[in-house]
Structure 1
Amino acid sequence: MKTYKYENKIEKLGTLYLVPTPIGNLLDITQRALIVLKTVDIIAAEDTRHTKILLKKFKIKNNLISFHKFNEKLRTKKIIEYLKNKKNVALVSNAGTPIINDPGFYLISQCIDLYKKINIVPLPGPCAAITALIASGCSTKKFCYEGFIPSKKNTRIKLFNSLKKERRTIIFYESSIRLINSLIDIKNILGKDRYIVISKELTKKWEYIHRGFIEDVISWIQEDHMRSKGEIVLIIKEKNKKYIKKEKNKKIFKTFKILKKILTEKEASKIAVKIHKTKKNYFYKYLFKKNNM
């Protein structure tokens, strides 16, 4: 029986490399990232002036084009043309892993949806959110990343209200000019006993990581306005079982105080625990402590 050997005649297009760059210390760039930046045909940079500093440091000469939020759709067409012509392109942001709060999502989605033969290669590397998280002391098993805190107060308050029941570690980026206002809103909405971590200017000479309860952190920053200057990652500690129980007891106690105005203490406590669906002995212990303070 005659057999036939079929060859894969699908012609591959160019490769789009997603290249993380240092978030501060230029020595954090990987050897692989340097090789890619040297060998690709074009580097698409969020700010070409910023990227030139990095390339100059490592003596790399290559073709640069701008790729930022104002020209993303227009540049996407141009980059796809390069890739269709078998040219390789590296996408970089100003700092860290591209597309995390940086332009590039539209380009990726177009490459995936329209041209499945374009190879997309992500490189591992620096990311401010993850760098801050691993040094925070907060749980890394489950966390959510919320990006930049909204600049408008109403939108910010709406966001914080939506996170009231969030049990995971929460990561934000924030600007220095809005930090105090955001912290005050977090305190008012999520509670003054929330534990937070402020990471500023990570990997740079003047980096610091400050941990504490939100009221204490606000006071600490207000003592010296320079403490809020720079690039900031804000982390809110996860709600552990102890915190959740304490929070629930507070709600039951609030209900209990209202009922106590018209009922006996025993009747009020019975109804309060029933409303909040909790065990009586947990609340009675809490009530005993309150009455003995």
Structure 2
Amino acid sequence: MMFERFSVKGYGAIVTGGASGIGLAFVEALAESGARVAILDVDSISLGKQVDRLSSRGLDVRGHKLDVTDRKAVDQVFAEVSAEYGRLDVVFANAGIDPGIGFSNPDGSPSEAGAIENYEDERWNRTIEINLNGIFATIRAAARHMKRGGGGSIVVTTSIAAYLNEGMIGAAYMAAKAGAAHLARNAALELAPYKIRVNAVAPGFIVTNIGGGWLKQPEVQNSIGATVPIGRIGDADDLKGLALFLASRASSYITGAQIPIDGGVSLGKRPA
């Protein structure tokens, strides 16, 4: 049956940054489809709440507090989860932060704080450490266990900021996401002989808590949504179908891809 190709029942899965936003949508997509999911997140309060909520629905989830910049901790948690599940089939390398405003304010005026000559080292380094180096640590740990297990699927969260210029987005975020996209392609080539697929999802404007949750404001949704070809900004739930596709055998002949999920933003502005 065709639908069987989308099955992840019994899979062992890990989602970093999985206690909120896009990561939580990935967790729900997998767990609701029968996978056993380890949620990794630095926010222990949100982590506990989501584990309790999902577990109360009968879903097989468990939580591990993890900072992806702590590489020893990443390796340790991956070893624990792999041993507990007896397999590691799917890893979503999703954890990331928003570095704040870019060189333009939302109204198009110049931003002093985001101007490159004023960009602080701490802001740059922290963003690169989490959004790029954290992805590297996650892929590395996943590869070790998936090689021993005979294969798997790694999915990296990038962004349309990986290939489109946007003045409102901080320079460090754009550089990190572009780096993560190329890292995913390189890893896909290296790991293909081991039956490990590596792909990336590139979200556009998605309503999450990132950026202080500014996309939750109705006026912002209306103004930005009017420019999106499909006519609205996205919700984290919009990523669930793609997540399940990339995690399952339905995408078994796809690796090294970066798939935009942006309502058509990559195409240009919505025609009048």
Shorter-normalised TM-score: what interval? 0.3 to 0.5
Could you say which structure has the larger radius of gyration?
A: 1
Name the one with the larger helix percent: 2
Q: TM-score, normalised by structure 1?
A: 0.32
Q: TM-score, normalised by structure 2?
A: 0.33
Q: Taking CA–CA contacts closer than 8 Å with sequence separation of 6 or more, which of the two structures ends up with the larger relative contact order?
A: 2
